[in-house]
Structure 1
Protein backbone atom coordinates (compact mmCIF):
# COMPACT_ATOMS: atom_id res chain seq x y z
CA UNK A 1 0.00 0.00 0.00
CA UNK A 2 1.34 3.41 -1.01
CA UNK A 3 2.02 5.61 2.00
CA UNK A 4 1.60 9.37 2.04
CA UNK A 5 1.87 11.81 4.93
CA UNK A 6 -0.23 14.95 4.59
CA UNK A 7 1.50 17.81 6.40
CA UNK A 8 -0.90 20.68 5.75
CA UNK A 9 -2.88 20.06 8.95
CA UNK A 10 0.07 19.57 11.31
CA UNK A 11 2.14 22.37 9.76
CA UNK A 12 -0.03 24.76 7.70
CA UNK A 13 2.78 27.34 7.64
CA UNK A 14 4.96 24.96 5.59
CA UNK A 15 4.72 26.09 1.97
CA UNK A 16 7.93 24.62 0.50
CA UNK A 17 9.51 21.20 0.87
CA UNK A 18 11.56 18.52 -0.87
CA UNK A 19 10.07 15.06 -1.06
CA UNK A 20 9.72 11.91 -3.19
CA UNK A 21 7.08 10.78 -5.64
CA UNK A 22 5.32 7.63 -4.42
CA UNK A 23 2.76 7.10 -7.20
CA UNK A 24 2.10 8.21 -10.79
CA UNK A 25 -0.96 7.83 -13.00
CA UNK A 26 -2.36 9.29 -16.24
CA UNK A 27 -4.58 12.35 -15.93
CA UNK A 28 -6.70 14.55 -18.18
CA UNK A 29 -4.06 17.31 -17.90
CA UNK A 30 -1.21 14.89 -18.60
CA UNK A 31 0.01 13.18 -15.45
CA UNK A 32 -0.96 13.05 -11.77
CA UNK A 33 1.48 12.32 -8.97
CA UNK A 34 1.28 11.57 -5.25
CA UNK A 35 4.01 12.80 -2.92
CA UNK A 36 5.41 11.06 0.14
CA UNK A 37 5.39 14.16 2.35
CA UNK A 38 2.53 16.16 0.90
CA UNK A 39 1.90 19.84 1.64
CA UNK A 40 -0.69 20.39 -1.13
CA UNK A 41 -4.29 20.58 0.03
CA UNK A 42 -7.02 19.74 -2.47
CA UNK A 43 -10.18 21.84 -2.58
CA UNK A 44 -13.04 21.00 -0.24
CA UNK A 45 -15.34 22.40 2.41
CA UNK A 46 -15.75 25.68 0.55
CA UNK A 47 -11.98 26.26 0.39
CA UNK A 48 -10.06 26.24 -2.93
CA UNK A 49 -6.95 24.16 -3.49
CA UNK A 50 -3.36 25.22 -3.04
CA UNK A 51 -1.53 26.92 -5.90
CA UNK A 52 2.12 26.27 -6.70
CA UNK A 53 4.61 24.06 -8.52
CA UNK A 54 6.16 20.60 -8.26
CA UNK A 55 9.61 20.28 -9.82
CA UNK A 56 8.95 23.62 -11.53
CA UNK A 57 5.72 22.36 -13.14
CA UNK A 58 2.54 24.28 -12.32
CA UNK A 59 -0.08 22.45 -10.26
CA UNK A 60 -3.14 22.47 -12.53
CA UNK A 61 -5.40 20.47 -10.24
CA UNK A 62 -5.32 18.70 -6.88
CA UNK A 63 -7.68 15.94 -5.82
CA UNK A 64 -8.14 13.18 -3.28
CA UNK A 65 -8.55 9.70 -4.71
CA UNK A 66 -7.84 6.18 -3.48
CA UNK A 67 -6.71 7.53 -0.12
CA UNK A 68 -4.06 9.83 -1.64
CA UNK A 69 -3.78 13.49 -2.58
CA UNK A 70 -2.78 13.83 -6.24
CA UNK A 71 -1.44 16.87 -8.09
CA UNK A 72 -1.99 17.13 -11.85
CA UNK A 73 0.50 18.58 -14.33
CA UNK A 74 0.85 19.21 -18.06
CA UNK A 75 3.73 16.78 -18.51
CA UNK A 76 4.59 13.38 -19.89
CA UNK A 77 4.79 10.41 -17.56
CA UNK A 78 8.56 10.21 -18.01
CA UNK A 79 8.94 13.66 -16.42
CA UNK A 80 7.82 12.21 -13.08
CA UNK A 81 8.88 8.75 -11.93
CA UNK A 82 8.20 6.95 -8.67
CA UNK A 83 11.11 7.55 -6.33
CA UNK A 84 12.16 10.83 -7.95
CA UNK A 85 12.98 13.66 -5.51
CA UNK A 86 11.15 16.89 -6.30
CA UNK A 87 10.84 20.40 -4.87
CA UNK A 88 7.34 21.57 -3.97
CA UNK A 89 6.74 25.32 -3.74
CA UNK A 90 3.31 26.71 -2.89
CA UNK A 91 1.90 30.21 -3.24
CA UNK A 92 2.33 31.18 0.43
CA UNK A 93 0.32 34.40 0.10
CA UNK A 94 -2.62 32.56 -1.44
CA UNK A 95 -2.64 30.01 1.38
CA UNK A 96 -2.43 32.71 4.05
CA UNK A 97 -5.32 34.63 2.48
CA UNK A 98 -7.38 31.43 2.38
CA UNK A 99 -6.69 30.65 6.01
CA UNK A 100 -7.69 34.13 7.14
CA UNK A 101 -10.82 34.10 4.97
CA UNK A 102 -11.84 30.67 6.20
CA UNK A 103 -11.60 31.76 9.84
CA UNK A 104 -13.41 34.98 8.95
CA UNK A 105 -16.21 32.93 7.40
CA UNK A 106 -16.64 30.82 10.54
CA UNK A 107 -16.58 33.97 12.64
CA UNK A 108 -19.19 35.80 10.58
CA UNK A 109 -21.50 32.77 10.50
CA UNK A 110 -21.28 32.37 14.28
CA UNK A 111 -22.02 36.07 14.84
CA UNK A 112 -25.00 35.86 12.47
CA UNK A 113 -26.08 32.60 14.12
CA UNK A 114 -26.19 34.43 17.46
CA UNK A 115 -28.00 37.44 15.97
CA UNK A 116 -30.89 35.65 14.24
CA UNK A 117 -33.23 33.07 15.77
CA UNK A 118 -32.64 30.90 12.68
CA UNK A 119 -29.67 31.06 10.35
CA UNK A 120 -29.38 28.20 7.86
CA UNK A 121 -26.28 28.45 5.68
CA UNK A 122 -26.70 27.61 1.99
CA UNK A 123 -23.33 28.86 0.67
CA UNK A 124 -20.00 29.52 2.37
CA UNK A 125 -17.38 29.53 -0.36
CA UNK A 126 -13.99 31.17 -0.78
CA UNK A 127 -13.17 32.35 -4.30
CA UNK A 128 -10.45 30.43 -6.14
CA UNK A 129 -8.09 33.42 -6.00
CA UNK A 130 -8.79 33.89 -2.26
CA UNK A 131 -9.89 37.48 -2.85
CA UNK A 132 -13.22 37.12 -1.04
CA UNK A 133 -15.75 34.71 0.42
CA UNK A 134 -19.47 34.52 -0.26
CA UNK A 135 -21.89 33.65 2.57
CA UNK A 136 -25.56 33.05 1.82
CA UNK A 137 -28.10 31.90 4.41
CA UNK A 138 -31.82 31.68 5.08
CA UNK A 139 -33.08 33.55 8.16
CA UNK A 140 -36.25 33.52 10.25
CA UNK A 141 -37.27 37.07 9.33
CA UNK A 142 -36.63 39.68 6.64
CA UNK A 143 -33.02 40.86 6.62
CA UNK A 144 -32.46 44.58 7.06
CA UNK A 145 -29.27 46.52 6.36
CA UNK A 146 -29.10 47.14 10.12
CA UNK A 147 -28.88 43.37 10.69
CA UNK A 148 -25.83 43.10 8.47
CA UNK A 149 -24.20 46.05 10.23
CA UNK A 150 -24.88 44.56 13.68
CA UNK A 151 -23.44 41.18 12.64
CA UNK A 152 -20.42 43.03 11.30
CA UNK A 153 -20.00 44.86 14.61
CA UNK A 154 -20.13 41.60 16.56
CA UNK A 155 -17.58 40.08 14.25
CA UNK A 156 -15.29 43.10 14.46
CA UNK A 157 -15.34 42.84 18.25
CA UNK A 158 -14.24 39.19 18.05
CA UNK A 159 -11.47 40.06 15.58
CA UNK A 160 -10.14 42.56 18.11
CA UNK A 161 -10.50 40.00 20.92
CA UNK A 162 -8.10 37.68 19.11
CA UNK A 163 -9.60 34.40 20.36
CA UNK A 164 -7.51 31.30 19.71
CA UNK A 165 -8.54 28.97 16.89
CA UNK A 166 -7.61 25.29 16.89
CA UNK A 167 -8.60 21.94 15.42
CA UNK A 168 -10.08 19.13 17.52
CA UNK A 169 -11.61 15.72 16.90
CA UNK A 170 -14.86 14.21 18.10
CA UNK A 171 -16.07 10.62 17.94
CA UNK A 172 -19.33 11.71 16.34
CA UNK A 173 -21.70 14.63 15.88
CA UNK A 174 -23.56 13.50 18.99
CA UNK A 175 -20.32 13.45 20.99
CA UNK A 176 -19.47 16.97 19.79
CA UNK A 177 -22.94 18.21 20.72
CA UNK A 178 -22.51 16.77 24.21
CA UNK A 179 -19.00 18.18 24.69
CA UNK A 180 -19.44 21.66 23.23
CA UNK A 181 -23.11 22.33 23.96
CA UNK A 182 -24.38 25.63 22.58
CA UNK A 183 -21.00 26.37 20.97
CA UNK A 184 -21.48 23.48 18.55
CA UNK A 185 -23.23 24.13 15.27
CA UNK A 186 -23.55 21.97 12.18
CA UNK A 187 -24.97 22.82 8.77
CA UNK A 188 -27.84 20.77 7.43
CA UNK A 189 -26.02 20.87 4.06
CA UNK A 190 -23.75 18.05 5.25
CA UNK A 191 -24.22 14.59 6.69
CA UNK A 192 -21.55 13.18 8.98
CA UNK A 193 -20.91 9.64 10.16
CA UNK A 194 -18.22 8.59 12.59
CA UNK A 195 -15.30 10.75 13.67
CA UNK A 196 -15.32 14.41 12.70
CA UNK A 197 -12.73 17.17 12.66
CA UNK A 198 -13.78 20.41 14.32
CA UNK A 199 -12.53 23.96 14.12
CA UNK A 200 -12.98 25.56 17.52
CA UNK A 201 -12.95 29.28 18.22
CA UNK A 202 -12.18 29.43 21.94
CA UNK A 203 -15.33 30.04 23.96
CA UNK A 204 -17.37 30.98 20.89
CA UNK A 205 -17.81 28.31 18.22
CA UNK A 206 -17.21 24.67 17.27
CA UNK A 207 -18.01 23.52 13.75
CA UNK A 208 -17.13 20.47 11.60
CA UNK A 209 -14.54 21.59 9.03
CA UNK A 210 -11.75 20.08 6.93
CA UNK A 211 -10.13 23.39 6.00
CA UNK A 212 -7.06 25.38 7.02
CA UNK A 213 -7.41 28.29 9.43
CA UNK A 214 -5.68 31.28 10.94
CA UNK A 215 -4.53 30.53 14.53
CA UNK A 216 -6.60 33.37 16.02
CA UNK A 217 -9.65 35.44 15.17
CA UNK A 218 -7.31 38.40 14.60
CA UNK A 219 -7.64 37.99 10.84
CA UNK A 220 -6.74 41.58 9.98
CA UNK A 221 -8.74 44.32 8.24
CA UNK A 222 -11.78 43.31 6.19
CA UNK A 223 -15.11 44.63 5.02
CA UNK A 224 -18.55 43.03 4.77
CA UNK A 225 -20.37 43.92 1.56
CA UNK A 226 -24.05 43.04 0.97
CA UNK A 227 -24.38 40.74 -2.04
CA UNK A 228 -27.43 41.33 -4.22
CA UNK A 229 -28.54 37.99 -5.67
CA UNK A 230 -31.23 37.97 -8.37
CA UNK A 231 -32.99 34.96 -6.83
CA UNK A 232 -32.92 36.30 -3.26
CA UNK A 233 -36.02 37.14 -1.23
CA UNK A 234 -36.23 39.31 1.93
CA UNK A 235 -35.29 36.31 4.12
CA UNK A 236 -31.94 35.83 2.35
CA UNK A 237 -28.80 36.95 4.15
CA UNK A 238 -26.10 37.36 1.48
CA UNK A 239 -22.75 39.09 2.02
CA UNK A 240 -19.26 39.00 0.66
CA UNK A 241 -16.24 39.11 2.97
CA UNK A 242 -13.29 40.97 1.52
CA UNK A 243 -9.85 41.46 3.12
CA UNK A 244 -8.63 45.06 2.97
CA UNK A 245 -5.28 46.74 3.47
CA UNK A 246 -6.67 48.86 6.30
CA UNK A 247 -9.89 49.26 8.27
CA UNK A 248 -12.37 51.04 6.02
CA UNK A 249 -14.92 51.63 8.78
CA UNK A 250 -15.18 50.74 12.47
CA UNK A 251 -18.65 49.95 13.83
CA UNK A 252 -20.19 48.31 10.81
CA UNK A 253 -20.59 49.95 7.44
CA UNK A 254 -23.34 52.53 7.45
CA UNK A 255 -23.59 52.52 11.28
CA UNK A 256 -21.03 55.11 12.23
CA UNK A 257 -17.33 55.89 12.64
Structure 2
Protein backbone atom coordinates (compact mmCIF):
# COMPACT_ATOMS: atom_id res chain seq x y z
CA UNK A 1 0.00 0.00 0.00
CA UNK A 2 1.27 3.46 -0.93
CA UNK A 3 2.01 5.79 1.99
CA UNK A 4 1.74 9.57 1.67
CA UNK A 5 2.53 12.17 4.30
CA UNK A 6 1.03 15.60 3.61
CA UNK A 7 2.92 18.52 5.12
CA UNK A 8 0.69 21.59 5.48
CA UNK A 9 3.25 24.38 5.50
CA UNK A 10 2.61 28.08 6.17
CA UNK A 11 5.25 30.39 4.60
CA UNK A 12 7.36 30.67 7.76
CA UNK A 13 11.03 29.80 8.32
CA UNK A 14 10.10 27.51 11.18
CA UNK A 15 7.73 25.53 8.96
CA UNK A 16 10.44 25.19 6.30
CA UNK A 17 12.90 23.81 8.85
CA UNK A 18 10.29 21.35 10.14
CA UNK A 19 9.56 20.23 6.57
CA UNK A 20 13.23 19.44 6.02
CA UNK A 21 13.36 17.51 9.29
CA UNK A 22 10.28 15.51 8.29
CA UNK A 23 11.88 14.63 4.94
CA UNK A 24 14.98 13.47 6.81
CA UNK A 25 12.84 11.38 9.17
CA UNK A 26 10.57 9.77 6.56
CA UNK A 27 13.17 9.22 3.78
CA UNK A 28 10.55 9.26 1.00
CA UNK A 29 11.12 8.02 -2.52
CA UNK A 30 9.40 11.10 -3.95
CA UNK A 31 8.47 14.60 -2.85
CA UNK A 32 5.72 16.72 -4.39
CA UNK A 33 5.77 20.51 -4.15
CA UNK A 34 2.85 22.89 -4.58
CA UNK A 35 4.83 24.82 -7.19
CA UNK A 36 4.10 25.35 -10.92
CA UNK A 37 4.28 22.10 -12.85
CA UNK A 38 6.19 23.72 -15.71
CA UNK A 39 9.31 24.22 -13.55
CA UNK A 40 9.50 20.64 -12.27
CA UNK A 41 12.75 19.92 -14.14
CA UNK A 42 14.45 23.01 -12.68
CA UNK A 43 13.20 22.33 -9.14
CA UNK A 44 14.53 18.78 -9.46
CA UNK A 45 17.95 20.09 -10.57
CA UNK A 46 18.05 22.57 -7.69
CA UNK A 47 16.92 20.00 -5.14
CA UNK A 48 19.60 17.57 -6.34
CA UNK A 49 22.38 20.16 -6.06
CA UNK A 50 23.00 20.32 -9.82
CA UNK A 51 22.42 24.09 -9.97
CA UNK A 52 22.59 26.95 -7.48
CA UNK A 53 19.56 28.96 -6.34
CA UNK A 54 20.78 31.93 -8.39
CA UNK A 55 21.07 29.76 -11.51
CA UNK A 56 17.64 28.34 -10.77
CA UNK A 57 16.02 31.79 -10.63
CA UNK A 58 17.71 32.77 -13.88
CA UNK A 59 16.45 29.64 -15.64
CA UNK A 60 12.93 30.17 -14.29
CA UNK A 61 12.67 33.53 -16.10
CA UNK A 62 10.47 33.14 -19.12
CA UNK A 63 8.44 30.33 -17.59
CA UNK A 64 6.82 32.30 -14.77
CA UNK A 65 5.67 35.91 -14.36
CA UNK A 66 8.23 38.35 -12.95
CA UNK A 67 9.74 38.51 -10.42
CA UNK A 68 10.67 34.81 -10.38
CA UNK A 69 11.72 34.69 -6.71
CA UNK A 70 8.19 35.72 -5.66
CA UNK A 71 6.88 32.25 -6.56
CA UNK A 72 9.20 30.44 -4.18
CA UNK A 73 8.74 32.45 -0.98
CA UNK A 74 8.67 30.03 1.90
CA UNK A 75 10.32 27.33 -0.20
CA UNK A 76 13.85 28.73 -0.54
CA UNK A 77 15.22 27.01 2.55
CA UNK A 78 13.70 23.68 1.59
CA UNK A 79 14.85 23.74 -2.03
CA UNK A 80 18.40 24.83 -1.25
CA UNK A 81 18.93 22.34 1.57
CA UNK A 82 17.13 19.26 0.28
CA UNK A 83 20.23 17.85 -1.41
CA UNK A 84 22.19 17.96 1.84
CA UNK A 85 19.55 15.74 3.43
CA UNK A 86 18.68 13.17 0.79
CA UNK A 87 21.24 13.52 -2.01
CA UNK A 88 20.17 12.58 -5.53
CA UNK A 89 18.06 9.54 -4.62
CA UNK A 90 14.78 11.46 -4.42
CA UNK A 91 12.27 11.96 -7.25
CA UNK A 92 10.94 15.53 -7.30
CA UNK A 93 7.63 16.73 -8.75
CA UNK A 94 5.67 19.99 -8.86
CA UNK A 95 1.90 19.60 -9.04
CA UNK A 96 0.71 23.22 -9.23
CA UNK A 97 -1.38 24.24 -12.24
CA UNK A 98 0.71 26.80 -14.27
CA UNK A 99 -2.31 28.70 -15.59
CA UNK A 100 -3.67 29.10 -12.07
CA UNK A 101 -0.33 30.46 -10.88
CA UNK A 102 -0.41 32.98 -13.75
CA UNK A 103 -3.93 34.12 -12.89
CA UNK A 104 -3.01 34.24 -9.20
CA UNK A 105 -0.09 36.49 -10.13
CA UNK A 106 -2.44 38.89 -11.90
CA UNK A 107 -4.91 38.91 -9.00
CA UNK A 108 -2.11 39.38 -6.46
CA UNK A 109 -0.88 42.40 -8.41
CA UNK A 110 -4.39 43.85 -8.43
CA UNK A 111 -4.65 43.35 -4.66
CA UNK A 112 -1.23 44.94 -4.15
CA UNK A 113 -2.36 48.00 -6.12
CA UNK A 114 -5.56 48.20 -4.08
CA UNK A 115 -3.47 47.97 -0.91
CA UNK A 116 -1.25 50.85 -2.03
CA UNK A 117 -4.27 52.92 -3.04
CA UNK A 118 -5.88 52.39 0.36
CA UNK A 119 -2.63 53.30 2.11
CA UNK A 120 -2.58 56.61 0.25
CA UNK A 121 -6.28 57.49 0.42
CA UNK A 122 -7.30 55.76 3.64
CA UNK A 123 -10.40 54.51 1.81
CA UNK A 124 -11.35 50.92 0.99
CA UNK A 125 -13.51 49.82 -1.93
CA UNK A 126 -14.94 46.66 -0.37
CA UNK A 127 -16.77 45.60 -3.54
CA UNK A 128 -13.61 45.76 -5.62
CA UNK A 129 -11.65 43.74 -3.06
CA UNK A 130 -14.40 41.12 -2.89
CA UNK A 131 -14.63 40.88 -6.68
CA UNK A 132 -10.91 40.07 -7.01
CA UNK A 133 -10.83 37.69 -4.04
CA UNK A 134 -13.86 35.75 -5.27
CA UNK A 135 -12.51 35.50 -8.81
CA UNK A 136 -9.25 34.13 -7.47
CA UNK A 137 -11.06 31.69 -5.16
CA UNK A 138 -13.10 30.31 -8.07
CA UNK A 139 -9.97 29.65 -10.12
CA UNK A 140 -8.12 28.10 -7.17
CA UNK A 141 -11.03 25.80 -6.31
CA UNK A 142 -11.14 24.37 -9.85
CA UNK A 143 -7.35 24.02 -9.95
CA UNK A 144 -7.20 22.24 -6.58
CA UNK A 145 -9.32 19.39 -7.97
CA UNK A 146 -6.99 18.94 -10.96
CA UNK A 147 -3.97 19.12 -8.67
CA UNK A 148 -5.45 16.49 -6.35
CA UNK A 149 -5.79 14.12 -9.30
CA UNK A 150 -2.17 14.70 -10.26
CA UNK A 151 -0.92 14.14 -6.71
CA UNK A 152 -2.89 10.89 -6.50
CA UNK A 153 -1.55 9.71 -9.86
CA UNK A 154 2.09 10.36 -8.91
CA UNK A 155 2.09 9.30 -5.26
CA UNK A 156 0.42 5.94 -5.87
CA UNK A 157 3.42 5.01 -8.02
CA UNK A 158 5.65 5.03 -4.92
CA UNK A 159 5.67 3.12 -1.67
CA UNK A 160 6.40 6.26 0.32
CA UNK A 161 6.13 9.93 -0.66
CA UNK A 162 5.72 13.39 0.84
CA UNK A 163 3.37 16.05 -0.50
CA UNK A 164 3.90 19.66 0.60
CA UNK A 165 0.86 21.95 0.57
CA UNK A 166 0.49 25.62 1.46
CA UNK A 167 -3.02 25.29 2.84
CA UNK A 168 -5.52 22.69 4.00
CA UNK A 169 -5.44 20.18 1.10
CA UNK A 170 -9.03 18.95 1.34
CA UNK A 171 -9.26 17.80 -2.29
CA UNK A 172 -5.89 16.05 -2.13
CA UNK A 173 -6.76 14.29 1.10
CA UNK A 174 -10.13 13.17 -0.26
CA UNK A 175 -8.68 11.85 -3.53
CA UNK A 176 -5.88 9.95 -1.79
CA UNK A 177 -8.37 8.32 0.58
CA UNK A 178 -10.44 7.25 -2.43
CA UNK A 179 -7.29 5.64 -3.83
CA UNK A 180 -6.84 3.64 -0.63
CA UNK A 181 -3.59 5.37 0.28
CA UNK A 182 -2.25 5.20 3.83
CA UNK A 183 -2.35 8.88 4.71
CA UNK A 184 -0.89 11.13 7.41
CA UNK A 185 -1.33 14.91 7.63
CA UNK A 186 1.13 17.11 9.56
CA UNK A 187 0.59 20.80 10.32
CA UNK A 188 3.97 22.51 10.45
CA UNK A 189 5.16 25.76 12.01
CA UNK A 190 2.69 25.63 14.89
CA UNK A 191 1.47 27.68 16.60
CA UNK A 192 0.67 29.76 13.52
CA UNK A 193 -1.72 32.71 13.25
CA UNK A 194 -3.31 33.24 9.85
CA UNK A 195 -2.61 36.60 8.24
CA UNK A 196 -5.61 38.92 7.74
CA UNK A 197 -5.91 38.11 4.03
CA UNK A 198 -5.78 34.37 4.80
CA UNK A 199 -8.53 34.81 7.39
CA UNK A 200 -10.65 36.73 4.89
CA UNK A 201 -10.18 34.05 2.21
CA UNK A 202 -11.25 31.31 4.62
CA UNK A 203 -14.32 33.26 5.75
CA UNK A 204 -15.34 33.97 2.16
CA UNK A 205 -15.03 30.27 1.36
CA UNK A 206 -17.49 29.54 4.18
CA UNK A 207 -19.75 32.44 3.19
CA UNK A 208 -20.03 33.80 6.73
CA UNK A 209 -18.71 37.36 6.45
CA UNK A 210 -20.43 40.75 6.27
CA UNK A 211 -19.19 44.00 4.72
CA UNK A 212 -18.09 45.49 8.03
CA UNK A 213 -15.95 42.45 8.84
CA UNK A 214 -14.47 42.46 5.32
CA UNK A 215 -13.40 46.08 5.70
CA UNK A 216 -11.91 45.36 9.13
CA UNK A 217 -9.83 42.46 7.78
CA UNK A 218 -8.68 44.51 4.79
CA UNK A 219 -7.49 47.26 7.13
CA UNK A 220 -5.72 44.59 9.20
CA UNK A 221 -4.08 43.35 5.99
CA UNK A 222 -2.90 46.86 5.16
CA UNK A 223 -1.39 47.17 8.64
CA UNK A 224 0.29 43.78 8.20
CA UNK A 225 1.87 44.96 4.94
CA UNK A 226 2.95 48.28 6.44
CA UNK A 227 4.29 46.98 9.76
CA UNK A 228 5.74 43.60 8.72
CA UNK A 229 6.14 43.02 4.98
CA UNK A 230 7.81 46.38 4.34
CA UNK A 231 10.56 45.50 6.81
CA UNK A 232 11.03 41.75 6.36
CA UNK A 233 10.80 38.86 3.93
CA UNK A 234 7.48 36.98 3.88
CA UNK A 235 8.74 34.01 6.00
CA UNK A 236 10.15 36.39 8.64
CA UNK A 237 7.07 38.62 8.50
CA UNK A 238 4.54 35.84 9.11
CA UNK A 239 6.70 34.42 11.88
CA UNK A 240 6.87 37.75 13.72
CA UNK A 241 3.15 38.31 13.10
CA UNK A 242 2.30 34.93 14.65
CA UNK A 243 4.55 35.53 17.64
CA UNK A 244 2.89 38.86 18.40
CA UNK A 245 -0.64 37.64 17.87
CA UNK A 246 -0.04 34.49 19.92
CA UNK A 247 2.14 36.09 22.58
CA UNK A 248 0.14 34.42 25.34
CA UNK A 249 1.13 30.98 24.01
CA UNK A 250 4.79 31.91 23.58
CA UNK A 251 4.97 33.00 27.25
CA UNK A 252 4.13 29.52 28.51
TM-score bracket for this pair, using the shorter chain length: under 0.3
- Where relative contact order (Cα < 8 A, 6+ residues apart) is larger, the structure is 2
- TM (norm. structure 2) is 0.25
Q: TM-score, normalised by structure 1?
A: 0.24
Give the number of the structure whose alpha-carbon radius of gyration is greater. Answer: 1
> Normalized per residue, which structure has more strand?
1
Query: Hey, which of these two has a bigger chunk of helix by percent?
Result: 2
